[in-house]
Structures are given as structure tokens and as C-alpha cells.
Amino acid sequence: MLKKILAVLMLFSLVATVAPSVDQASAAGTSYLVKINSGTLNVRKTPSTSAGVVTKLSKGQEITVSSQSKGWAKITAKGKQGYVSSKFIAPKTNAAKKQLAVSNANYKAKAISVAKSNLGVKYLWAGYTPKGFDCSGLVNYSYGKSGISLPRTAAEMYTKGTKVTSYQPGDLLFYATSGGKKVTHVAIYIGNGQMIHSATSKGVSIASLNNSYWKNRFIGAKRI
């Protein structure tokens, strides 16, 4: 009898040693999506908010989760490993991807709608209200009304999001109006080869991407 009890105890001990936790088993090698409302998600060196930042992830970015424990997920993204808060990620499912796509379309459509509602508002350097907008002020205000927080200047905005070469309505377009490669102007792509922006000459207005002035000063586009 004693031998049987010892054998059972040894079996349980072996299972406990080799079997991963429920969190680990369910998350190992699983594709997840970043689910944040705005800004970026910090990937930390260790599972702590005070740990150094390895890299930053954007909304909807796909990551691989190897384990989860105590509210933190060990992940791989952009070829780097680290930890993120589990509450800011969700399993990659068809439903999740569809919901994310709808959410993205909704806030971008609202940002465009807000910008269009301010057509004709005069250009005002450092302006960020309907009393007057500069280029980044219009973008910041329009996206802010749709629930997305963006940096204040065009150059800072250019450091966010994902670079794209095929544009969708709501993508941000960046220009170097002073020559060179320094970003000094930002606009919102609204589809059909057009953008809405606050220009010094016309205020909040719509322009063609093929306009020779803007085409020659184009730097790149970002998807937020």
C-alpha cells in the first residue's frame, strides 16, 4: 500500500514539474494583437513598469506570446523579446481582426469628418482650435476628437505609426516645405488622391497629392 501511495505521489510530482501552467500552455507561441486606444505600447526588459523599454508597439501590431504570468506576457515582436501588460493584448482571431479593422475605420472616418467640418478655417501658426489651425494643430485636433492622442508637431507625428506606400483614408502624409528631409508639414489622406490640411495660403482646405508643389516635397506616409 505504501509503495502505491509513493508511486502516485511521484507521478503527481513529475506532472507538476513538466507541465506548463494554464497561462503558459494557452499562450505558448500564440499570435496576439496589440489592443491600445492610442499612442504606443512599451515592451519592457522585465515584467515591471519600471524596467527599461526594449521597443514600442503600435495598435493592431501582431506579436507572438510565449507565456503569461501575473498580468504580464512574455512576447516576441520586431525580432526582439520582452514583456508587456497582458491587458493590452488580445488573441489574434478572425473576430478580433475584424473588430480592429472596424475600430480603425471608425476613428479615421471620424477624424476626416472633423477635419472637413473645419474647411475654411484660417491658418494660424501654433493654432489648434477652430479659431485657427496650423497643419499639425488640425491633425492633432481631428484625431483627438476621434479618441486618438497624437504628438503636437508634424516632425513628432512622423515618429509614430507604420510607414505605408499604399494609402488609406486617415493615413497621415508628411512633407518637407523647407527643403531637404526635415518634416515640417502634415496632412490627412481622404481618398481619391486628395488630402485635407491647413495650408498657410488657404487655411483648412483640400488639395491633390499630384499638386506639383506638394508632390515635390513629399517625405512619406504613416498609418496610425
Set 121, 135, 186, 196: catalytic member: 135
- Residues with Cβ within 8 Å of residue 216, at least 6 apart in sequence: none
Predicted model pTM: 0.59
CATH 3.90.1720.10 fits 105-223, yes or no: yes
Give the domain ranges of the chain.
20-91, 105-223
pLDDT at 60: 79
7-65 per-position pLDDT tens digit: 544 444 433 333 333 344 344 468 888 888 767 899 999 999 999 999 988 887 888 99
The one catalytic residue in 92, 197, 222, 223 is 197
Burial class of residue 104 in the structure, from the number of CB atoms within 10 Å of its CB (0-12 exposed, 13-18 middle, 19+ buried): middle
Amino acid identity, residue 117? S
Q: Is 147 a catalytic residue?
A: no
Catalytic, 176? Answer no
Over residues 170-193, mean pLDDT: 95
Say what angle helices 135-145 and 94-117 make with each other, to 10 degrees: 130
Which of the following is catalytic: 44, 185, 222, 223? Answer: 185
In this structure, the dihedral spanned by the alpha carbons of residues 115, 39, 85 and 77, taken in order and rounded to 10 degrees, is 110
Instruction: Give domain 20-91's CATH number out of 1.25.40.10, 3.40.190.10, 2.30.30.40, 3.40.50.11890.
Output: 2.30.30.40
Name the band, by pLDDT with cuts 50, 70 and 90, for residue 169.
very high
pLDDT digits (tens, 9 = 90+) for 145-166: 888 888 999 999 999 888 999 9
Reported as a single tens digit per residue, the pLDDT across 87-104 is 999 887 766 666 656 556
136 classed as catalytic: no
